[in-house]
Amino acid sequence: MDKIVIQGGTRLNGEIVIGGAKNSAIKLMAVCLLTDKPVFLKNMPRLRDTRSMSELLSHLGVSINLSGSDKMTLHAESLSSSTAPYELVRKMRASFNVLGPLLARSGFAKVSLPGGCAIGARPVDLHLKAMESFGAKIKLEEGYVIASAKAGLKGAEITFPFISVGATEHAMLTAVLAEGETVLNNAACEPEIVDLANCLNAMGAKVSGAGRPRISIIGVSSLKGVDYSVVPDRIEAGTYALAAATVGGTVKLSNICKDHLGALWPLIEQAGAKLTFDRTSVLIERNGTNLRAVDVDTQAYPGFPTDLQAQFMTMMCLAEGTSIIRENIFENRFMHCPELSRMGADIDVRGREAIVRGVKELKGAPVMATDLRASASLISAGMAAEGETHVGRVYHLDRGFENIEIKLRNCGANITRESE
Ligand code: EPZ
C-alpha cells in the first residue's frame, strides 16, 4: 500500500487548478440510468470514487468511455441487471443512489445496504421513506433493499425531518420520471444539488427551486441525452485554500466558484490570511502574519462544510489562542484528532466539540489517514510541521483528491508517494 512522505517546513507558492466536484460527479453519473441516450460529462475528476461508480454502472449494463483528461460518456441504452451487489456498493456509499433511477427505469431494484463507515453510522432511512412515498414497495432481505414499483412511481410531497444531501439527491433522481408533481421540503441546498438539477433540466426534466429548501419536480415521461460540465469542487478548493493559509506562502486557486465557499472565506481571513478574488480564482497569501484562533461550527450548506472541518482544525493547531470546533453533521468525525496529537497538537475532544489550543509548532510523525478529508488535514499538518511525516492508508485520499501530491509539489511542497 502507498504512503505519502512529506518533508515539512516549505512554504507553498504557485497555482493550483481545481477539478470537477467529486460529490457532484458521482451523482451525475447515475443520471445515465434515466435515459437510453448518451450522457456526456466534462470536467469529470479521475478518482477512485468515480472509478467505483463506473464499475457499478458497467455491472448494470452501462457502456462507459473516457476521453481526454476529464471527459466521460455513459450510455445506458438497455440495462442488463437491476442488482447493485454488496462488493460494489460497499466501496462507496453514494452508489446506493442507483436504487431510485433503477426503480424509475425498470420498476425493480435490488441494491445492497451500504452499511456504516468511519465517520458515523450513516443510515439510509430517509432514502427508503422517500421511495415509499413515491409508491415503491420496499423489503429488506439479507442486507439488500428490494424495491418494486410495478405500477410506476407517483409524485409525492416529502418533508425531510432533517437535511440530507444524499436523500435530497436520491429523491430528485427518482421524481423526475415519476407521474405528477413532487415537492421536497427541508431539502439540502448544496451546490451539488443545484448541479444535479441543472443537468436533469438540460435533459428535459422539470426541476425548480434547487438550492432552496423547497424543490418542486414535475415528472416527465422520458429524458434525452446531455452534454454537461461538472461544477468545480468546492471542497478541493477549500482544502488547498486552508493548506496555503496553514503552511504559509502565496497560492492562486483557479477554476473556483467563490460563492460556494461563502462560509469559509471570512474565517480564513479572521485566521490571518489575505484573500484576493478574481472572477473564477482566489489568491491566498500568508507571509509573516501569525495564525489566530477562530471557532467553527459545521452546518448544512450554506453553513461551514463538515468536509472541511479536519483541514480547518489543522490550521487551528498552529494558531495563537484556543479554538472550539463543533461537528454537527456526523457523530464520529474527529478521528484525525489523535493523529494530529501525535504530531504535537493540543486537542481535547468532548463529544461533538474539539477544543484546540494552538501550539508553536508541529513535529513530523508517522500518522494514519482515517477518512478522505482527514487524509488531507494530515498532509497539511505534515507540510507545516518540522521534519518528516508519513501518511499511511492513502487509499482514502485517492477517493477524492486528483493528483494531490503533484498539485502540491508544483507549489514547492516536498511531498512524494512511496510504496510501503
Ligand atoms: C454527502 O454525504 C457527502 N457525500 C459527504 O461528503 C458530506 O460530508 C455530506 O453530504 C454532508 O455534506 C457525497 O456527496 C457522496 P447526508 P451524505 O445524507 O449524502 C444522516 C466526503 O468526504 N442521515 O447529508 O451521505 C447521516 O448519517 C463525504 O466527500 C440519516 O440519518 O450525507 C448524517 O449524520 C463524506 N438518514 C446526516 O444525516 C439518512 O437516510 C447528513 O448526511 C440519510 C442521512
- CA-to-CA dists, residue 35 to 181, 203, 350, 409, angstroms: 20, 9, 48, 42
pTM of the model: 0.98
User: What is the predicted pLDDT for the residue at 413?
Assistant: 98
- Residue-wise pLDDT for 333-352, tens only, equals 999 999 999 999 999 999 99
Query: What is the model's pLDDT at position 14?
Result: 98
By mean pLDDT, which of 295-299, 337-341, 397-401 is the weakest? Answer: 397-401
Whether residue 127 has its Cβ less than 6 Å from ligand 1: yes
Q: Per-residue pLDDT for 118 more than 90? A: no
Counting from 1 in the atom list of ligand 1, the atom nearest the Cα of 120 is 27
Q: What is the pLDDT of residue 395?
A: 86
- Which runs of consecutive H residues, i.e. helices, occur in 134-233? 165-175, 191-202
Rounded to whole angstroms, how far apart are CA atoms 404 and 402? 6
Assign 1 a pLDDT band (cuts: 50, 70, 90): confident
Residue 117 has pLDDT above 80, yes or no: no
End-to-end Cα, the chain, rounded Å: 6
Residues in the chain: 420
Report which residue type is found at 132. Answer: E
Task: Please indicate whether residue 94, judged by its CB atom, sits closer than 6 Å to ligand 1.
Answer: yes
Q: Is the CB of 96 under 6 A from ligand 1?
A: no
Residue 116 pLDDT:
62
The domains of the chain, with CATH numbers, are 2-19+232-419 (3.65.10.10), 22-229 (3.65.10.10)
DSSP states of 345-367? -EEEEETTEEEEE--S--B--EE
What is the whole-number distance in angstroms between the Cα of residue 164 and the centre of ligand 1? 6
Q: Is there a cis peptide before residue 302, judged by omega within 30 degrees of 0?
A: yes
> Quick one: cell of 49?
470514487
List the catalytic residues: 117
The three three-digit cell numbers of residue 345, written as one number: 497538537
